[in-house]
Structure 1
């Protein structure tokens, strides 16, 4: 009887340990995924800024009325609500 009880207790302990390990692994995976998502977002933002800069210089060289506007965009953080520069009407 005593041996049986001991064995049951051991099994329970093992199960608990396994569960804890699984939880830890899941947490680690989630953390990694979050980090990757952040990295991707940063890269996308960088590319957007690069494109904006590229267009700003192109506009300046042509002497468009857009040149000042595109420079204005580089100074502010990009938000979803702001109208993108390509949807503005042509002022020239």
Structure 2
């Protein structure tokens, strides 16, 4: 009932059945997976089909929404970079 109740959940860890219960994928409208096993994929994104092969490139992850999968690249920033980007997004050095 997570999405229906407009509850926002961020989960970081192994999605064991005892932690998230049986229908874990129903808790999340958007699932972001990186460095996952086939079991984790089937538990959190079964509607998106079989698990894709892992990318050899660091920072790659998969975003699953409405059964659609998109592989994308994470932006790697330090804490200072994030503060600069949030406080002055027009700064060309950020």
TM-score range, shorter chain: under 0.3
TM-score for both structures, normalised by structure 2 = 0.23
Structure having the higher Rg: 1
Greater helix proportion: 1
TM-score for both structures, normalised by structure 1 = 0.23
Greater strand proportion: 2
